[in-house]
Amino acid sequence: MNVTLRPIGLLKPYCDGLIDDQGRIELADREGQTLERVCREIGLPEGLVSLFIVNGHPQSGAYRLQPGDDVKCVAVIGGG
């Protein structure tokens, strides 16, 4: 079973070519991998993701993916 990753906002350009028309990235064979590793592998810069929401619950980057997980990645927001 796949894992669905949804980069939010300014994270989308880093995943160009991977995102479908509904803003999702379907990942196969990622069970047991950490969110940090998967994000690095798809091209998200380290430290840019400030929040992971897995199946509606906040998780750390050390969370290990399970089949069917739905993950939203939210970027750090800077201000001036």
pLDDT at 78: 55
pLDDT at 77: 74
Domains and CATH numbers, the chain: 3-75 (3.10.20.30)
Provide the pairing of β-strand 49-54 with 57-59. Answer: antiparallel
pLDDT at 65: 97
Quickly list DSSP for 47-70.
Answer: T-EEEEEETTEEE-TTPBP-TT-E
| Residue-wise pLDDT tens digits, 11-69 | 999 988 899 999 999 999 899 999 999 999 999 888 889 899 999 999 999 999 999 99
Instruction: State the CB neighbour count (10 A cutoff) for residue 1.
Output: 9
